[in-house]
Amino acid sequence: MNSHSHVLLIEDNPGDADLVRLRLVEANSDVSVSSVDRLSAGLESIAAKPPAMVLLDLNLPDSRGAATFRSVLQRAPGIPVVVLSGQEDEELAVKAVHQGVQDFLVKGNFNSKQLARAMRYAIERQGLLTSLDMSRKQQLQFKDEFLSHVSHELRTPLTCMHQFVTILLDGLAGPVVPEQREHLGTILRSVNQLHGMIADLLEASRAESGKIAIEPRCIAVGDVIRDAVAMLRAAAREKQIGLEMAVDSRIPLVLADSDRIFQVLTNLLENALKFTPPDGSVMVKACLVDADPDFVYISVADTGRGIGPSAKALIFERLYQDPNSVEERRNGLGLGLYIAKELIRLHGGRIWVESQPGQGSLFTFALPLFSLARLVFPVITDQGRLRDAISLVTIELTPGVAVASAARKEIRHSCAQILRSCIQPDKDLLLPAVARAGAGESFVIVASTGEAGAQIIQKRIYAQTARNEQLNQLGTFTVSSKTLALPSPQEGKTLHQLVQAVADDITQSLLSPLRPI
């Protein structure tokens, strides 16, 4: 620590603050020390003038215990922190160091030399961690660039191989005898397998570097499950494996990226079919669990050979493959479950497996439910009661031209910006985009108004969208409205219960067009 270093001392006891200054003087340290007696004042000081180090008391008037050092670490992740605790607490000390604190000293138990050494080592350790973090980021960037380059170079010859093999298989280059057809089929399967491996490598690399993006929308998980089952039903039939599904009709909307959840489901289903023998069965379920009411549980159960304890502990790790599995079934890189785990984590959920050797496997992931009641409460209530009228305004964009998936995100963003300009933020709410089948886009506004007010919002939307030439070239906007029947206030029914009833009505209105007839 050099002579110009600035140390921030967050300590509410003047005697302890003076003792720290005395120890620094005894150590012939020329650091400048500024002292505050509140965590809030300390965080403001860090933002205004980042110090070289923070000396931190854990029990302050506005914060106590582990929450104190977490707040400082979150606000100043690159600044070394040394805790000065009034009591010796080994468990808290270990927790603090594991979460990023550089040292943990007990007041009265250190002299000037020990304090100076702790401060010097803390700065050096923090510098080493910062250097290692930068090195890791550089390595990840290099790996990303390398994989991107290699995958691009590999895809070109693979695409060429795929095209020419299919030309031969289709007989466009002349007759193909059965033996040749069999060999060409083997080549085609290998090419497709290699395509999948390259895609998994890139996806795993993005996951490791935190670059996987999800686009949550209001979805009915039952629809995603039906699509995944439908896609793999032919493969199950070919292997003579029963493939069934069961979806609890009470499941409300979930705020999730339907494409990513579909990716997780198909990975679990493909694994289940791969390791289940003929005449076995695979079952997909989605249900609510009373003990965990904020999540929907989605599971894939099979009657395969099961997973041993050692494999079960490692199965979600990157590049892990069960060494006891049959060689012909190990046709990937061991990245699918790792990617699935990262995708579920990004949704705020979790994934796990239950299995015993010889008794099949049960993979389950939990996704947070979309709390519509909590979202709409501020806009549909006023002065402790429901507003007099509530309407739903639905906006549908039907594309007139084919739209690439990458462009659809831009379209949703543009539409959302226009719609937000058409509503009153304190009385109306634009819900997260609703995922529907097909190429169209759908938006819903919860408006605290009756039919006349909803008509005004519709006219405003038509006027605003008409001015946007780019959106109008893409397709046609259709705007409709519906006034909700409000629950009558009953004795003993709280405002939150009334809001929940309205939210349930809105959910049913959103779900009904999502479910197949």
- 225 & 336 share domain: yes
For residues 363 and 241, membership in a common domain is answered with yes
According to DSSP, the residues that pair with 443 across neighbouring strands are 395
pLDDT digits (tens, 9 = 90+) for 263-315: 999 999 999 999 899 999 999 999 999 888 889 999 999 999 888 887 887 88
Residue 117 confidence (pLDDT): 86
Q: Which amino acid is at 8?
A: L
Let me know whether 379 and 364 are in one domain: no
In the three-class reduction of DSSP (H, G, I as helix; E, B as strand; rest coil), residue 350 is classed as strand
Sign, Cα dihedral of 405, 406, 409, 411: negative
On whether residue 119 sits in a domain, the answer given is: no
Q: What is the pLDDT along the chain (517 residues), one digit of tens a residue?
A: 554 578 899 999 988 888 888 888 887 777 888 899 999 999 999 988 899 889 999 889 988 888 888 889 888 888 999 998 888 888 888 888 888 888 888 887 888 888 888 888 888 888 888 888 788 777 767 766 776 666 667 777 888 888 888 898 888 888 888 888 888 888 888 887 777 777 767 777 666 666 677 888 888 899 999 999 999 999 999 999 999 999 998 888 888 988 899 999 999 999 999 989 999 999 999 999 988 888 999 999 999 988 888 788 788 877 666 655 554 455 556 678 888 998 999 999 999 999 888 889 999 999 988 888 888 898 899 888 889 999 999 988 877 666 566 566 777 788 888 888 888 888 899 988 777 656 567 889 999 999 999 999 999 998 888 887 777 777 788 899 999 988 877 767 888 889 988 988 888 887 765 443 3
Residue 248's identity, in one-letter code, is D
In a domain, 517, yes or no: no
- Euclidean distance between CA atoms 102 and 79, whole angstroms: 10
In a domain, 122, yes or no: no
Residue 116 is assigned to a structural domain of this protein: no
Whichever domain contains 48, its CATH number is 3.40.50.2300
449 is a domain residue: yes
Q: Mark whether 362 and 282 lie in a shared domain.
A: yes
pLDDT at res. 447:
92
- Residue 221 CA, chain-centre distance (Å), reads 16
* In a shared domain, residues 270 and 323: yes
Instruction: Name the average pLDDT for the chain.
Output: 83
Residue 75 lies in a domain: yes
Residue 101 region by backbone torsions, left for phi larger than 0, else alpha for psi between -120 and 50, else beta? beta
User: Angle at the Cα of 204 (from 201 to 205), degrees rounded to 5?
Assistant: 85
pLDDT tens for each residue of 420-440: 888 888 889 998 877 765 656
CATH of the domain at 304: 3.30.565.10
> What local confidence, expressed as pLDDT, does residue 325 receive?
59
- Asked if residue 301 and residue 443 are part of one domain, the reply reads no
CATH number reported for the structural domain that contains residue 485 in this entry: 3.30.70.1710
Q: How far is Cα 300 from Cα 30, in angstroms, rounded to an integer?
A: 64
Pair 441, 310 in one domain: no
Task: Tally the domains of the chain.
Answer: 4
Is 464 domain-assigned? Answer: yes
Strand residue runs (E) in 6-52: 6-10, 32-36
User: Structural domain of residue 433, as residue ranges?
Assistant: 372-511
Domain final residue pick, 368, 395, 415: 368
Do 223 and 248 share a domain, yes or no? yes
Is residue 414 included in any domain, yes or no? yes
296 and 196 in a common domain: no
What is the full DSSP assignment across 81-137?
EEEEESS--HHHHHHHHHTT--EEEETTS--HHHHHHHHHHHHHHHHHHHHHHHHHH
Query: Which of 306, 310, 253 is CA-nearest to residue 277?
Result: 306
170/53 same-domain check:
no
- Among 404, 431, 403, smallest CA distance to 416 is for 431
pTM of the predicted model over 0.95: no
Among candidate residues 368, 389, 409, the one where a domain is terminated: 368
If asked whether residues 42 and 140 sit together in one domain, one would say no
* pLDDT of amino acid 278: 92
Cα distance between residue 297 and residue 248, in whole Å: 10
Alpha-carbon distance values, 185 to 162, 166, 282, 460 (Å): 11, 9, 27, 58
Which of 174, 189, 208 is the endpoint of a domain? 208
Each residue of 177-206: pLDDT tens digit? 888 888 888 888 888 777 777 776 777 766
Per-residue burial over 337-356, b = 16 or more CB atoms within 10 Å of its CB, e = otherwise: bbbbbbbbebbebebebebe
- Map tokens 């895609």 to a residue: 199
- pLDDT 10s digits, 36-48: 999 999 999 998 8
Same domain, 244 and 308: yes
